Structure 1
């Protein structure tokens, strides 16, 4: 058994990340105030209304309603704040909490919000272009957060991320450089892409990669001039605390 979970970094921020916390709160509010009370049938209707549906976006559904074209664009935003379940929600928000504050610090509040939304839209459009006939609603913040991951990787690749690991009988924590943790995440996405494109539903891997590519492209233009790329970490990499599980 092998399990890794990043949960903290050594990267301080200069200012309180108000936009990042707003995004976290908005996702929690939408899920627990609107989605959580819905029945299964109502959930499906909710996803059809607020999820991003490629076939609907491109007008492939019959009958096509041209008056709804503006709303189809709006769903590239609304889908970012909707989630398929509690694990989906908290998995995304953990990554947003972990990496978003530093990216906001590097970009500034307004630019960070624009960056986040643009990465989410880029993710949705990438998913749509890879499967334009799909009628499966796409929901979740992971596309936008993939852009945040890209920004963090460009700016702070040598920051150290505290990772919980479980390897057979050994559990513990270890500081790993962000380029290893996030590089492994990118590798996982690339490996999973072919299978994702063959399946009708599941994880929208193309959206993750589209959001990541959007983040790579946007970060150099939106970051503050004084913020440097490839900044160093504030702790020693590979420092660890390991325990053996007793039986």
Structure 2
């Protein structure tokens, strides 16, 4: 498993929104693990369920609550590995996207990526009633925005080679392109292996990434952007 440590483009402004997102995700997870009863209530109340999201009767019966879960479920996580993995990627890549888009546009970008990835997961699993949580779809959107905005940036990455774990600088387009191909292959695997059961929302990752690519272009301010990578 490769892990990004930092990237080459330096930001000039403080990424207040990215810091707030990191704090919110970690803070809410601490609430989950601090009290099992609170954690159970949060998941039961705010997790996304595909069958509810895609059902008009459920929307009517729940007063539109499935819409809330699209934006709330990305702030919940199931384990330390789950939250820390997502937050590592958000820490490395999110500040650059915030600098490119600006604070308010970045928040809109993040939430839209979260919602669009949740919709994709529901469409790919329309009969599932399994609660879905995690920021990975929104973070995938950040990665998609990054590969469009900073393709030539260098990502300092830990790459395990046997017992050694050297740190290697990898071009962003290679690092993130390979990440996306892995998600795509994993999402398509059930088509090739009909008996495979997935426990990861790969289509949320795929659609989040593609949404990030598109939204980074739509929401970017119309002005030259310096430090595009390299």
Q: Which has the larger radius of gyration?
A: 1
- Per the normalisation by structure 1, the TM-score is 0.85
Structure 1's consecutive aligned runs of 4 or more residues displaced over 4 angstroms after TM superposition are 41-45, 196-201
Q: Which residue of 1 aligns with 2:228?
A: 231
Question: Residues of 2 paired with 1:70 and 1:192: CA distance?
Answer: 32
Question: Residues of 1 paired with 2:12 and 2:227: CA distance?
Answer: 18
Kindly tell me: are residues 48 and 194 of structure 1, through their superposed partners in 2, closer, same or farther at Cα, counting changes over 3 Å?
Answer: farther
Question: Residues of 2 paired with 1:28 and 1:174: CA distance?
Answer: 28
Question: Structure 2 matches for 1:141-160, cutoff 5 A?
Answer: 141-160=135-154
Q: Which runs of 5+ in 1 are unaligned?
A: 234-247
Question: Structure 2 matches for 1:97-116, cutoff 5 A?
Answer: 97-116=91-110
Question: Structure 2 matches for 1:175-190, cutoff 5 A?
Answer: 175-190=169-184
Q: Secondary structure at the match of 1:153?
A: helix
RMSD: 2.1
Higher percent of residues as strand:
1
Question: Structure 2 matches for 1:1-247, cutoff 5 A?
Answer: 3-33=1-31, 35-39=32-36, 43-59=39-55, 64=58, 66-195=60-189, 202-228=199-225, 231-233=228-230
Per-residue deviation at 1:37? 2.3
Kindly tell me: are residues 65 and 174 of structure 1, through their superposed partners in 2, closer, same or farther at Cα, counting changes over 3 Å?
Answer: closer
Kindly tell me: are residues 171 and 57 of structure 1, through their superposed partners in 2, closer, same or farther at Cα, counting changes over 3 Å?
Answer: closer
Higher percent of residues as helix:
2
Kindly tell me: are residues 229 and 213 of structure 1, through their superposed partners in 2, closer, same or farther at Cα, counting changes over 3 Å?
Answer: farther
Question: Residues of 2 paired with 1:226 and 1:65: CA distance?
Answer: 41
Q: Which runs of 5+ in 2 are unaligned?
A: none
Per-residue deviation at 1:38? 3.3
What do the CA deviations read for 1:156-193 (whole angstroms, capped 9, x no partner)? 01000001122014331111100111011001101101
Give the number of equivalent residue pairs: 227
1:196–1:204 contact (8 Å) kept in structure 2: no
Question: Residues of 2 paired with 1:105 and 1:132: CA distance?
Answer: 37
Question: Residues of 2 paired with 1:7 and 1:24: CA distance?
Answer: 16
- Per the normalisation by structure 2, the TM-score is 0.91
Per-residue deviation at 1:120? 0.3
Per-residue deviation at 1:201? 5.2
Question: Residues of 2 paired with 1:169 and 1:85: CA distance?
Answer: 26
Kindly tell me: are residues 32 and 196 of structure 1, through their superposed partners in 2, closer, same or farther at Cα, counting changes over 3 Å?
Answer: farther
1:196–1:202 contact (8 Å) kept in structure 2: no
